[in-house]
Amino acid sequence: MSKVAIITGGGSGLGQSTALRLAEEGVNIVVVDIDEEGGNKTVEMVKKSGVEAIFIKADVSKADEVKNYVDQTVEKFGTIDYFFNNAGISGSGAYYLETDIDEIEKIVGINLMGALYGVRYVAEVMVKNGGGAIVNTASSAGVIGQDTVVTYSATKHGIVGITKSLVAEYAKDGLRVNAVAPGPTETPMVKSYFDANPKMKENAEQGIPQKRLGTPEEVAELVTFLLTSKAEYINGEVIRIDGGFTNTK
């Protein structure tokens, strides 16, 4: 029987690339995103691999909409085997004291509360069914301090805490929870951030020992490995995928 994966932020970037990579493994995909056009495009692409895929629109900062995408998945497929808890935004790139309170609340709502709501409802299903695998999207800004991303960094440090503490509570129930911490990666979110802060892209590339940004496909390969049974004894880890970027900090 085919496995089932939910991917939030699946309409573009890391989410879309991971959906496509998991589909190559025969995994049925539930794409969750607030962007209907992007989400439906991912579904069309995924179906070319011969698996089932559906799109569910959701604002992950709202608990009822998170519960809805979980309920719809269980109604459609009966279970949830894998969860890529990935939806997030970066913010404007303004220094913290120049950041509007509305922006702070929005970033925290999507990145941190959205992730907390996701694992709350998904893990409930997984534990009931004997286990499952979750990968949360942290960031290089979740393992070191970086300027212009104070709120974003706070949420990504929070992702690390969620990852480790869930394992402490529920590994005994068959739950595996890991996180990936990408450095600067060629996604629409990062491109938008660099477009607003051109100097930051040059600084990022120069600060990465491999002298280039990562690709969504590279991150998707890691996520797929962590979600599949090949990684059954990796639990509670935060794995950096950043070309050596945080190794030099």
Is 82 marked active-site? no
- Asked if residue 200 belongs to a domain, the reply is yes
Residue 185 DSSP class = B
- Asked if residue 249 belongs to a domain, the reply is no
- Given the residues 69, 82, 121, 152, the one annotated as active site: 152
Q: pTM for this one?
A: 0.95
Residue 206 maps to which CATH number?
Answer: 3.40.50.720
10-residue mean pLDDT profile of the chain (249 residues): values are: 96 97 98 98 98 98 98 98 97 94 98 98 98 98 94 98 98 98 87 73 80 94 95 97 88
- Asked if residue 138 belongs to a domain, the reply is yes
119, 85 in Cβ contact below 8 A? yes
7, 30 in Cβ contact below 8 A? yes
What domain count does the chain have? 1
- Asked if residue 168 belongs to a domain, the reply is yes
> What range defines the domain where residue 13 resides?
4-244
What is the rounded CA–CA span in Å between residue 154 and residue 150? 6
- Asked if residue 39 belongs to a domain, the reply is yes
pLDDT of residue 186: 86
What is the rounded CA–CA span in Å between residue 211 and residue 214? 10
Alpha helical stretches, state H, the chain: 13-24, 36-47, 63-77, 101-107, 114-128, 150-170, 188-196, 198-207, 216-227
